[in-house]
Amino acid sequence: MQENNTKRVVYVVDGARTPFLKARNKPGAFTASDLAVSASRSLLTRMNASVDIIDEVITGCTMPGPDEANISRVIALRLGLKNTVPAFTVMRNCASGMQAIDNAMENIASGKSDVVLAGGTDAMSHAPLLLNTKMATWLGGWMSSKTIGQKLQMLPQLRLNYFAPVIALLKGLTDPIIGMSMGQTAEQIAYEFDISRQDMDNFAVKSHQHAAHAITENFFTEVSPIFDRKGNAYLHDDGIRADSSIEKLAKLKPFFDKKYGAVTAGNSSQITDGACFMLLASEQAVEKYQLPVIAKLVDCQWAALDPSVMGLGPIHAATPLLKQQHLSLKDIDFWEINEAFAAQVIGCVKAWNNADYCKQFLGLDSAFGEIPKEKLNVDGGAIALGHPVGASGARIILHLIHVLQRNNAKRGLASICIGGGQGGAVLIERI
Amino acid sequence: MNNFTHWQLKQDDRDIIWLSLNKANVAANTLNREVLEEFERIVDDIQQKENLAGLIIQSAKSSGFILGADIQAFTEIKDANEAFELVRKGQIIFEKLENLKIPTLALIDGACLGGGLELALACDYRVAHDNRKTKLGLPEVLLGIHPGWGGTIRLPRCIGALKAMDLILSGRTVPAKVAAKIGFIDAAVPMRHLKTAAIRFILNQPERHKAPWYDKAFSISFIRQAVGSLLRKKVMVKAKPEHYPAPYAVIDNWVKVGIDNEKAYITEANSIGKLLVSDTSRNLVRVFFLQEQLKSLAKHSDFKAQHVHVIGAGTMGGDIAAWCALRGMQVTLQDRSSEQVAPAIARAYQLFSKKIRDKRLIQAAMDRLIPDLEGEGVSKADVIIEAIYENLEAKQNLFKTLEASAKPSAILASNTSSIPLDEINQTLNNPERLVGIHYFNPVAKMPLVEVVKGQLTSQDVLNDAIAFVRSIDKLPLPVKSSPGFLVNRILMPYLMECVALVDEGYSITAIDSAAKKFGMPMGPVEIADTVGLDVCLSVAKNMIAHFGGTVPTRLESMVSQSKLGKKSGQGFYTYKDGKQIKEPAADKGEHDELITHRLIMRLVNESFAVLRENVVESADLLDAGMIFGAGFAPFLGGPIHYARALGKDELTKIFNDLQSDCGKRFEPDTALSEIII
């Protein structure tokens, strides 16, 4: 393409994330903007140039708090960036963080911006309880009735079931078009690719073991501690269970299809609070301000598919991306596929290795091939670390950079499935 | 009618007179004889004129509305009669303002204090800007006097006696919104509505704000008497009548004559007339000017900091970081691990919650305070403050690395209280960069910060550090780097004498009570327990190594038994949940004079030595340091001022008596005769 020739190269200067903090049945210590500010502050503090060079802030977030409208601007101002630094928020469900990176890439590549702070955040433990429509209607009438007599007349119309809250989190995790919960879409993939409960639990145990190993080896160097107002310090992701085992996971009941299903809370990603941000810069800015770089963002690709198998989104996005870059499976040194559900990651591997699926849905002549296990999610994934939906897309890109660095490898591909039936993929190269 | 030195007049097309005070040749508006006489002529003129819609009084200066009476003028008053006449004249002028037939309004943007607020109270209405600079109050009691231009009458008439007494007796100032809630501001609005609101009040002439209906009860003398005794008890907690008579005079006047008839003004004027020429007031006015003197030390540098890096998140470091963030600095706080930093963040949150009410501003302060385990802030900071443990080698190594990575323009400062700067700076390529910035515990409460000059510290760096200290709203005191600097050096003999008294069998309550009767805010035993006996011991050892003396064995044995004071639950006193368990008073004060003499004369004598060694530049600065750094009785004007007030003969006699009773440590310093003339 003509315009491709004029696109500018985009570099990752630095990145940081908070520990991922598991939601424990009550709002956590941090709001989404608290998390984002904490992660970004570490980045800005260690920047070797003035923070004034930042042109804009782009944030992915699926459920900002009621005080966090256009949360990206809230974050920018809380960070003390100048009033003149614009900021916008993007929302693409589970890929919102990746979407923010893509927007940053685009704006840098096109020359609109030179230095962008981009990433994602979500405090899922703060997801609100909403009033149902009946209650809202009644309340509306109550507030507009002016006299005590009118108010008294309204009281008998109030019904107990009006008080039943709408749990925003559950709504968000249910497909609004087909009505399936995200877990049910994983059940669907398990059905279509013959993935057993044991396959899923095995995968989940590996995720925990890899993550626990990574903690002991201090592989998560991108994590910056976060401090709450009560004097607690949070240093590490707190959902990892080093003692996870097949036996323990086998005891859990299916959560989504309760009677006949196989997807449990144990082989699904955790509901978590967290934020991950990166500083991206054009080649020109890197030279001008002598910024260090850790990776090059080569390409980003999006795809859409049947919402009932949304978990296969990663390969739908990765296939055209690799084609565009003239790369094959073996050219990728390390992979990240976000672990929304064990079934869905296993499904991606199986579908790509399945000639029929590749022909019918990916426009390929034959099976694409099998991603080697030892190259996929080498330090565990969202099943162990948690899945703050707005942040995960950024987290897998940032962590993949660290994996490439550690292994002196060149190319990595990070991909993520998206509720509603989409997938996103980003190709990176280590510098 | 437009030919005035200090006032500007303008009549708008609604026939409202806009009268702006722009006191000539000064930065801020204060009221003195000249300003008031001009004002009187203007009010007289207005009174004669027909067809005016109203009068709006405002300030033409950006520095605030009116800061009060000209305090400098206080010092020129010779006797109570002269004071009465002066005050009475002001009262009459304000009465003329109050009696104008047209509606009058004070439009207040910025500080409106003392006489400034009394002028505003003589108007029908008051409209104020609701920004952070606008503060209102009657802080006269802090200068040992009380309001004299009708404030003690008009404020209770406006908002009721109880609320008015609360403001007058405490001398506290409040922001515009709070003032509006209390009732003496009719509207607190943003700048964009200030003039609109003022004009609307003038044109609509709503009813004036009045005391609540039940205030009529205070017309009855015995009710005032009953309430008066309650008020006295409340004030007693904060200030003793023999030290601070002014608030008690306010209560007495109110009990005696109430506020219903005009006799109250004469009573007010008589009462303040006496107070104005009292020693207490003279000394407190002196303290006010000492404070101004400390503030003005910052004018020698235009150094401006945005980012402060603090190393060491212990009690001092953590609290210094929190204070800087509170005052608007970007702060990175470094320590070795998150366990050290986390409690400091919690303390900071408590401080912010107490000092800032607005949730958003608390969040902003929290966002400015950045935990920085890796020390990334070093290379960006404008000021780096070291507050690690007291170890020479550790500090030397730290500053060596700091020098290499800090910005060349950054201030390198140590909060050390015991290690000489000229030893720490030996590892530096540019030793002239190192300066001491020594805070007192608790950081948020103590206004003084000693800015320490080593022999090699450059004057520019010192000036920059002083400007920085002022910019975070502390009072900078330049001192020479000698053991204990000023405040600890002078306090230490005082505390050691206190331990000696305990050794001799005097009860700790008797000692503390005597010191408090003298006017110290805390007794020496309480201070020792609060500071920590281990800290006292190490400072004492350090100082004794330099200046001689002996460490009291009691102190050493208490520390070796881990009786460290408040923090360990047991010191001289016993503590439960951080609260001192009250011990019964051991005597009726029969040893007060002896105890006080022994404690205070050690302190005074050390002050002479410190002056002789030029640790501070002047006796005034020494007094300021001891008042703002150690809380030395402000109404006595500082240790040197106190000694001078005693006079050479009396002082020599006390020293001689003490020397024969207690020994050589009471030998008066050789500088005595130079300092006390």
User: Do B347 and B255 reside in the same domain of the chain?
Assistant: no
A45 touches chain B (CB under 8 A): yes
ipTM score over 0.95, yes or no: no
Looking at residue B361, its amino acid is L
User: Do B61 and B198 reside in the same domain of the chain?
Assistant: yes
pLDDT at residue B2, as a whole number: 61
Tokens 């608030």, residue located: B247
Angle between helices B263-276 and B80-99 (to 10 degrees): 140
Residue B371 to residues A211, A225, A233, B335, B438, Cα–Cα distance (Å): 26, 9, 10, 8, 22
B104-108 and B54-59: which strand pairing? parallel
Tokens 């340091």, residue located: B625
User: Do B392 and B417 reside in the same domain of the chain?
Assistant: yes
Which residues in A lie closer than 8 A to residue B347 (C-beta atoms)?
Answer: 231
Beta strands in A144-294 (DSSP E): 166-167, 226-227, 233-234, 272-282
Contact map slice: A 47-66 vs B, CB within 8 A:
48
Q: Which residues of chain B carry a pLDDT beneath 50? A: 1
Residue B670: exposure state from Cβ atoms within 10 A (0-12, 13-18, ≥19) = exposed
Which helix (H) or strand (E) element contains residue B198?
helix B191-204
B162 touches chain A (CB under 8 A): no
Which of A45, A232, A235 is closest, CB to CB, to B370?
A45
Query: pTM higher than 0.90, yes or no?
Result: yes
Which of A78, A225, A230 is closest, CB to CB, to B346?
A230
The catalytically annotated residue of B438, B591, B597, B641 is B438
User: Do B256 and B309 reside in the same domain of the chain?
Assistant: no
Beta strands in B157-211 (DSSP E): 173-175, 187-189
d(CA B347, CA A259): 51
User: Do B273 and B387 reside in the same domain of the chain?
Assistant: no
Query: B623-648: per-residue pLDDT in tens?
Result: 999 999 999 999 999 999 999 999 99
CATH of the domain at B371: 3.40.50.720
d(CA B550, CA A280): 64
**DSSP code for B218:** G
The catalytically annotated residue of B386, B450, B497, B606 is B450
Enzyme catalytic residues of A:
94, 387, 417
CATH of the domain at B505: 1.10.1040.50
A220-237 mean pLDDT: 96
The catalytically annotated residue of B488, B513, B542, B607 is B488
pLDDT at residue A3, as a whole number: 46
Which residues in A lie closer than 8 A to residue B343 (C-beta atoms)?
Answer: 231
Q: Give yes or no for residue A2 having a pLDDT over 50.
A: no
Query: How far B267 CA sits from the closest chain A CA (Å)?
Result: 52
d(CA B578, CA A318): 62
Which of B342, B372, B379 is closest, CB to CB, to A231?
B342
Query: How far A388 CA sits from the closest chain B CA (Å)?
Result: 22
User: Do B208 and B175 reside in the same domain of the chain?
Assistant: yes
- Whether B628 maps to a domain, the answer reads no
Which of B449, B483, B517 lies at the terminal end of a domain, its last residue?
B483
pLDDT at residue B571, as a whole number: 93
Query: How far A364 CA sits from the closest chain B CA (Å)?
Result: 50
- Whether B43 maps to a domain, the answer reads yes
Contact call for residues B308 and B383 (beta carbons, < 8 A): yes
User: Do B411 and B519 reside in the same domain of the chain?
Assistant: no
The answer to whether residue B129 is catalytic is: no
Task: Provide the number of CB pairs (under 8 Å) joining chain A to chain B.
Answer: 46
| A229 contacts B380? CB cut-off 8 A | no
A231 touches chain B (CB under 8 A): yes
Which of B483, B516, B536 lies at the terminal end of a domain, its last residue?
B483
C-alpha B578, offset from chain centre: 26
Which of B341, B342, B367 is closest, CB to CB, to A37?
B367
User: Do B571 and B660 reside in the same domain of the chain?
Assistant: yes
Contact call for residues A56 and A72 (beta carbons, < 8 A): no
A171 touches chain B (CB under 8 A): no
Which of B483, B508, B523 lies at the terminal end of a domain, its last residue?
B483
| A78 contacts B371? CB cut-off 8 A | no
Q: What angle do CA B102, B106, B109 make, to 5 degrees?
A: 155
Strand-pairing partners, residue A115, are A281
Q: Which residue of A has its CA nearest to B328?
A: A80
Query: How far B364 CA sits from the closest chain A CA (Å)?
Result: 7
Residue B128: exposure state from Cβ atoms within 10 A (0-12, 13-18, ≥19) = buried
And the tokens for B220?
Answer: 């009855």
**DSSP code for A164:** P
Looking at residue A177, its amino acid is I
- Whether B422 maps to a domain, the answer reads yes
Strand-pairing partners, residue A411, are A429
Q: Which residue of B has its CA nearest to A37?
A: B367
A79 touches chain B (CB under 8 A): yes
d(CA A398, CA A100): 13
pLDDT at residue B403, as a whole number: 97
pLDDT at residue B418, as a whole number: 83
B307-311 and B173-175: which strand pairing? unpaired
Residues in chain B: 677
Query: A340-354: per-residue pLDDT in tens?
Result: 999 999 999 999 999
| A227 contacts B347? CB cut-off 8 A | no
CATH of the domain at B198: 3.90.226.10
- Whether B405 maps to a domain, the answer reads yes
- Whether B284 maps to a domain, the answer reads no
pLDDT at residue B586, as a whole number: 64
List, in order of start, the domains of chain A with CATH numbers: 2-128+271-289 (3.40.47.10), 182-218+298-430 (3.40.47.10)
B579-580 and B54-59: which strand pairing? unpaired
Contact call for residues B435 and B454 (beta carbons, < 8 A): yes
Which helix (H) or strand (E) element contains residue B493?
helix B487-503
| A78 contacts B349? CB cut-off 8 A | no
**DSSP code for A127:** P
| A227 contacts B377? CB cut-off 8 A | no
CA atoms within 13 A on the CB side of B142: 16
Which of B346, B364, B377 is closest, CB to CB, to A231?
B346
The alpha carbons of chain B give a radius of gyration, in whole angstroms, of 27
pLDDT at residue A86, as a whole number: 98
User: Do B450 and B540 reside in the same domain of the chain?
Assistant: no
B370 touches chain A (CB under 8 A): yes
Which of A45, A78, A227 is closest, CB to CB, to B342?
A227
d(CA A203, CA A383): 9
Residues in chain A: 431
- Domain limits for position B506: 488-614+647-675
- Whether B120 maps to a domain, the answer reads yes
| B346 contacts A229? CB cut-off 8 A | yes
d(CA A266, CA A268): 6
Query: A32-55: per-residue pLDDT in tens?
Result: 999 999 999 999 999 999 999 999
Strand-pairing partners, residue A223, are A17
The answer to whether residue B438 is catalytic is: yes
- Long-range pairs for A358-363 at CB < 8 Å and ≥24 separation? A361/A305, A361/A312, A361/A316, A362/A315, A362/A316, A362/A319, A363/A319
Count: domains in chain B: 3
User: Do B456 and B353 reside in the same domain of the chain?
Assistant: yes
> What residues contact residue B98 under an 8 Å CB cut-off, 6+ apart?
B122, B123, B154
- Whether B226 maps to a domain, the answer reads yes
Query: A148-167: per-residue pLDDT in tens?
Result: 888 888 888 888 888 887 77
Tokens 């323990």, residue located: A248
Query: How far B191 CA sits from the closest chain A CA (Å)?
Result: 21
- CA nearest A422: which of A319, A347, A317, A345? A317
> What residues contact residue B290 under an 8 Å CB cut-off, 6+ apart?
B620, B621, B623, B624, B627, B638
| A227 contacts B345? CB cut-off 8 A | yes
Query: How far B411 CA sits from the closest chain A CA (Å)?
Result: 19
Count of CB atoms situated within 10 Å of the CB of B556: 14
- Whether B440 maps to a domain, the answer reads yes
User: Do B463 and B504 reside in the same domain of the chain?
Assistant: no
Query: B36-48: per-residue pLDDT in tens?
Result: 999 999 999 999 9
Query: How far A233 CA sits from the closest chain B CA (Å)?
Result: 6
pLDDT at residue A5, as a whole number: 54
Q: Round the average pLDDT of chain A to a whole number and report it.
A: 95
In a mutational test of the A interface, the residue from B367, B372, B373, B382 whose CB has the highest number of chain A CBs within 10 Å is B367
User: Do B390 and B335 reside in the same domain of the chain?
Assistant: yes
Which of A37, A45, A78 is closest, CB to CB, to B332?
A45
Which helix (H) or strand (E) element contains residue B333?
strand B330-334
And the tokens for B441?
Answer: 């515990």
